[in-house]
């Protein structure tokens, strides 16, 4: 029930709020208004767009896998153990969230660049990260995996370890408890975290272009392709098509996550 | 089979220090107020809570011994723990819940499923095998939890407040059903409850645990007839007095004396049934020996007996009929004389 006092809103707040809505809506409307709907189908299947899309899907998928493999264990340890320095680790994990992506890209370059110790070792193993597809995936994982860690950790914290205790008294060893109890119960938050991480990875621009550059077919993902066609070749039409594609994917993620993630904020 | 647990541990403000022995084939209830350390005791036995010093042994198997630094992980102890919330896994079917312990101990999928099914039938839940635990009522989920531990053939069965998660209307029937299921298990049976009725109906013996210490143990009837702590006395509805007897006088802690009829001498406890306390506004006729001057501290109407709380040299509860309470205007408070016959005071040594 709405309380009587707040039922009539303050006019002074309505105006800035309306501006806020327009602020979000107008660019979207502008984007949609400039779409050349008749040529859209053919542009969507043009080689350039398809190449960028395939590359984006590839890199973001690899980024999610990396995030899952290293992010879920970290989330578990942060949520369930009294690891010394846990606060520091948690702060460290959230850093990529606020760090300007360009800084992330430069930092990755200084850690994994071809002239660095790690980069040299990797090179001997035949792996070159900078300006390669693998590098683009790494950059996307770097920026996206905090979303997964934070979501999964929150999901694990929501439940205490009572059911793991129950499993222990039933004779389940630690790994069985982890796979049969902890993970299935955390599955919804892992899925939500993976989706957020994927969405972030898909839209990643700054860290990727800094660390991996923009080579069509190798590191030029959807956002980078959109930027370079907009800025460089002046093909505004293609930039808009690519933007529309990214917008559609973003809305899809929102719809999929609306209950799980946005519901928690409600 | 026996369970032997000697436990000393500090948990928050609770200092648990108790020594408990439980024989198999007898259901033993650990009875005590909330926060007495009952659940902690069970958790220590199951290996879920640490002890400072102590030893837990079931049927010759040492679960824990701080002296020899022996410690078995919870999963290696053959203990069936039925948790207060039953602890069913929400993501597994009822059948998979019951099969969980068998699978965890290495039984193959088909054999485990067959055995789990047998147990579900035994607790009358066969038709819920493929349901999720959320589809079960409180009583059903308790039976599922019981089947889940009994199917693993544990050495000891531990139940934490077995009827707490069940709504009151179903308890009568459940208590009976639970007692029958407990009787089919021949190992050590230890349950924990704050409800005297539950202890009386489910267990043959009770161990009273208060503030981490065992205050009394024995048959329920013995414990409730001759309580050794204020909490048990209150639970049994008795007035409990503490003092020292010499001759036909018991001298109480507050300095006052009562005349008693007993052979006991020395430090003793005495109980008085509330209905044996007679109340008067003016000194009664004759010369009763035990007249205690009190103030009415409260009146609790309970059916055809009203409980009158009295403040005097020692606190006392009297039970009178509503008619008597009205005639004496007890609801107005004020001073009353409480009279107790010497023969109505049950005295036993401390």
What pLDDT shows up at residue B6?
94
- Of the pLDDT bands very low, low, confident and very high (cuts 50, 70, 90), residue A6 is low
Would you list the DSSP string of B284-331? Answer: PSS--S-EEEEEEEEEEEETTEEEEEEESSS-EEEEE-HHHHHHTTGG
CB B214 within 8 A of CB B32: no
Domain closes at, from B212, B234, B256 = B234
- Across the interface, of A165, A170, A173, the residue whose CB is closest to B101 is A170
The answer to whether the CB atoms of B48 and A162 lie below 8 A apart is no
What average pLDDT does this structure show over B60-74?
A: 93
The answer to whether the CB atoms of A167 and B104 lie below 8 A apart is yes
Nearest residue in A to B99, CA atom: A170
Distance CA B193, CA B178 (A): 14
B120 and B193 within one domain? yes
- Which tens digits make up the pLDDT trace of B153-184? 999 999 999 888 777 777 788 888 888 889 88
Q: Give the distance from residue B63's alpha carbon to the nearest chain A alpha carbon, in angstroms.
A: 13
What pLDDT shows up at residue A265?
46
CATH number at residue B180: 3.40.50.300
What pLDDT shows up at residue A234?
61
What pLDDT shows up at residue A81?
85
A112-121, B71-80, B206-215: segment of lowest average pLDDT: A112-121
What pLDDT shows up at residue A266?
41
What pLDDT shows up at residue A261?
55
What pLDDT shows up at residue A242?
87
What average pLDDT does this structure show over A110-130?
A: 87
What average pLDDT does this structure show over B128-139?
A: 93
The answer to whether the CB atoms of A170 and B83 lie below 8 A apart is no
B333 and B316 within one domain? yes
Domain closes at, from B203, B234, B265 = B234
Domains and CATH numbers, chain A: 43-265 (1.10.3720.10)
**In terms of C-beta density within 10 A (0-12 exposed, 13-18 middle, 19 or more buried), how is residue B36 classed?**
buried
Q: Give the distance from residue A161's alpha carbon to the nearest chain B alpha carbon, in angstroms.
A: 11
Distance CA B132, CA B103 (A): 18
A179 shares contact with chain B (CB less than 8 Å): no
- Tokens 């309306």 label which residue? A18
Q: Give the distance from residue B68's alpha carbon to the nearest chain A alpha carbon, in angstroms.
A: 23
Q: How many CB atoms lie within 10 A of CB B46?
A: 22
What average pLDDT does this structure show over A24-42?
A: 88
Could you give the C-alpha distances from A262 to A94, A244, A252, A266, B324, in angstroms and in order? 19, 23, 14, 6, 65
CATH number at residue B251: 2.40.50.100
The answer to whether the CB atoms of A162 and B83 lie below 8 A apart is yes
Best residue of A165, A169, A178 to probe chain B, by most B CBs closer than 10 Å: A169
The answer to whether the CB atoms of B75 and A180 lie below 8 A apart is no
pTM as predicted = 0.82
The answer to whether the CB atoms of B48 and A171 lie below 8 A apart is no
Q: Which residues contact A263 (CB under 8 A, 6 or more apart)?
A: none
B276 and B248 within one domain? yes
B295 and B160 within one domain? no
A82 shares contact with chain B (CB less than 8 Å): no
Is a pLDDT exceeding 60 seen at residue A183?
Answer: yes
Angle at the Cα of A223 (from A219 to A224), degrees rounded to 5? 45
The answer to whether the CB atoms of A169 and B73 lie below 8 A apart is no
The answer to whether the CB atoms of A166 and B89 lie below 8 A apart is yes
The answer to whether the CB atoms of A176 and B104 lie below 8 A apart is yes
Q: Give the distance from residue B50's alpha carbon to the nearest chain A alpha carbon, in angstroms.
A: 14
Q: How many CB atoms lie within 10 A of CB A147?
A: 25
The answer to whether the CB atoms of A166 and B90 lie below 8 A apart is no
What pLDDT shows up at residue B173?
81
**Structural domain boundaries, residue B300:** 239-349
A170 shares contact with chain B (CB less than 8 Å): yes
A163 shares contact with chain B (CB less than 8 Å): yes
Nearest residue in B to A168, CA atom: B75
B52 and B189 within one domain? yes
- Across the interface, of A162, A167, A169, the residue whose CB is closest to B79 is A169
B339 and B278 within one domain? yes
A191 shares contact with chain B (CB less than 8 Å): no
3-state secondary structure of B345: strand
What average pLDDT does this structure show over B200-204?
A: 91
What pLDDT shows up at residue B93?
97
Is a pLDDT exceeding 70 seen at residue A235?
Answer: no
A183 shares contact with chain B (CB less than 8 Å): no
Q: Per the structure, how many domains does chain B have? A: 2
B148 and B9 within one domain? yes
The answer to whether the CB atoms of A162 and B149 lie below 8 A apart is no
A169 shares contact with chain B (CB less than 8 Å): yes
**In terms of C-beta density within 10 A (0-12 exposed, 13-18 middle, 19 or more buried), how is residue A139 classed?**
buried
B149 and B34 within one domain? yes
Q: For the stretch B273-287, what's the b/e string if a residue is b when 16 or more beta carbons lie within 10 angstroms of its beta carbon?
A: bbebbbbeeeeeeee
- Across the interface, of A163, A173, A184, the residue whose CB is closest to B87 is A163
The answer to whether the CB atoms of A168 and B74 lie below 8 A apart is yes
B244 and B207 within one domain? no
The answer to whether the CB atoms of B100 and A167 lie below 8 A apart is yes
Q: How many CB atoms lie within 10 A of CB B246?
A: 11
What average pLDDT does this structure show over B63-84?
A: 94
The answer to whether the CB atoms of B83 and A168 lie below 8 A apart is no
Nearest residue in A to B88, CA atom: A163
Is a pLDDT exceeding 80 seen at residue A79?
Answer: yes
Dihedral over Cα of B314, B320, B325, B328: its sign: negative
The answer to whether the CB atoms of A165 and B48 lie below 8 A apart is yes
B168 and B41 within one domain? yes
Taking contacts as CB-CB distances below 8 angstroms, the residues of chain A near B75 are 168-173
A167 shares contact with chain B (CB less than 8 Å): yes
Q: What is the number of CB-based contacts under 8 A between chain A and chain B?
A: 56
Q: What is chain A's mean pLDDT, rounded?
A: 87
Can you read off the two tokens belonging to residue B282? Answer: 């003016």
The answer to whether the CB atoms of A173 and B75 lie below 8 A apart is yes
The answer to whether the CB atoms of B149 and A165 lie below 8 A apart is no
CB B186 within 8 A of CB B179: no
Nearest residue in A to B107, CA atom: A171
- Which tens digits make up the pLDDT trace of B16-52? 999 999 998 899 999 999 989 999 999 999 999 999 9
- Which tens digits make up the pLDDT trace of B299-316? 998 888 899 999 989 999
B263 and B218 within one domain? no
- Which tens digits make up the pLDDT trace of A40-78? 888 888 888 888 889 999 999 999 999 999 999 999 999
Angle at the Cα of B90 (from B89 to B91), degrees rounded to 5? 95
Is a pLDDT exceeding 50 seen at residue B333?
Answer: yes
Domain closes at, from B204, B234, B264 = B234
CB B305 within 8 A of CB B321: yes
B223 and B78 within one domain? yes
What pLDDT shows up at residue B350?
82
Taking contacts as CB-CB distances below 8 angstroms, the residues of chain A near B99 are none
Taking contacts as CB-CB distances below 8 angstroms, the residues of chain B near A168 are 47-48, 73-75
């Amino acid at each position: 029930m709405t309380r009587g006092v707040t039922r009539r809103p303050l006019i002074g707040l309505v105006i800035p709020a309306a501006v806020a809505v327009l602020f979000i809506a107008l660019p979207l409307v502008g984007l949609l208004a400039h779409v050349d709907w008749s040529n859209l189908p053919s542009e969507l299947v043009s080689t350039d767009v398809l190449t960028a899309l395939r590359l984006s899907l590839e890199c973001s998928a690899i980024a999610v896998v990396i995030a899952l493999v290293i992010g879920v264990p970290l989330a578990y340890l942060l949520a369930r153990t009294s690891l010394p320095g846990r606060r520091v680790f948690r702060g460290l994990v959230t850093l990529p969230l606020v760090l300007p992506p360009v800084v992330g890209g430069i930092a990755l370059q200084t850690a994994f660049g071809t002239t660095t110790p790690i980069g040299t070792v990797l090179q001997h193993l035949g792996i070159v990260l900078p300006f390669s597809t693998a590098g683009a995936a790494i950059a996307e994982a770097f920026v996206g995996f905090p979303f997964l860690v934070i979501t999964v950790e929150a999901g694990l914290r929501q439940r205490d370890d009572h059911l793991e205790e129950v499993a222990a008294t039933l004779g389940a060893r630690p790994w069985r408890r982890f796979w049969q109890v902890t993970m299935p119960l955390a599955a919804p938050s892992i899925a939500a975290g993976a989706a957020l991480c994927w969405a972030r990875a898909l839209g990643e621009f700054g860290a990727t272009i800094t660390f991996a550059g923009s080579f069509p077919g190798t590191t030029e993902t959807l956002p980078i392709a959109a930027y370079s066609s907009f800025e460089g070749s002046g093909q505004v039409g293609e930039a808009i098509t690519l933007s529309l594609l990214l917008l559609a994917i973003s809305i899809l993620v929102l719809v999929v996550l609306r209950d799980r993630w946005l519901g928690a904020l409600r | 089979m026996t369970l032997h647990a000697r436990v000393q541990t500090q948990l928050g403000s609770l200092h648990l220090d108790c020594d408990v022995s439980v024989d198999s084939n007898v259901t033993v209830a650990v009875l005590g107020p909330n926060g007495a350390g009952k659940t902690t005791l069970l958790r220590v036995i199951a290996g879920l809570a640490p002890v400072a010093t102590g030893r837990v042994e079931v049927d010759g198997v040492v679960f824990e011994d701080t002296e020899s630094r022996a410690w078995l992980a919870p999963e290696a102890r053959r203990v069936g723990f039925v948790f207060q919330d039953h602890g069913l896994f929400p993501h597994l079917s009822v059948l998979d819940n019951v099969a969980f312990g068998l699978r965890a101990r290495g039984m193959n999928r088909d054999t485990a499923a067959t055995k789990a099914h047998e147990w579900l039938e035994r607790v009358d839940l066969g038709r819920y095998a493929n349901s999720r635990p959320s589809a079960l009522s409180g009583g059903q989920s308790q039976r599922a939890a019981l089947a889940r531990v009994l199917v693993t053939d544990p050495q000891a069965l531990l139940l934490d407040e077995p009827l707490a998660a069940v709504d009151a209307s179903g308890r009568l029937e459940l208590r009976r059903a639970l007692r029958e299921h407990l009787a089919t298990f021949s190992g050590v049976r230890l349950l924990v409850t704050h409800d005297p009725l539950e202890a009386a109906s489910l267990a043959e013996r009770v161990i009273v645990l208060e503030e981490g210490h065992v205050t009394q143990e024995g048959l329920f009837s013995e414990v409730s007839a001759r309580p050794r702590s204020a909490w048990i006395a209150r639970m049994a509805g008795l007035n409990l007095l503490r003092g020292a007897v010499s001759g036909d006088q018991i001298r109480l802690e507050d300095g006052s004396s009562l005349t008693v009829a007993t052979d006991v001498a020395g430090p003793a406890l005495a109980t008085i049934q509330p209905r044996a306390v007679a109340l008067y506004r003016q000194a009664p006729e004759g010369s009763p020996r035990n007249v205690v001057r009190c103030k009415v501290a409260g009146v609790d109407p309970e059916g055809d007996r009203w409980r009158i709380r009295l403040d005097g040299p020692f606190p006392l509860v009297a039970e009178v009929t509503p008619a008597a309470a009205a005639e004496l205007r007890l609801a107005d408070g004020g001073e009353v004389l409480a009279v107790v016959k010497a023969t109505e005071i049950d005295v036993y040594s401390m």
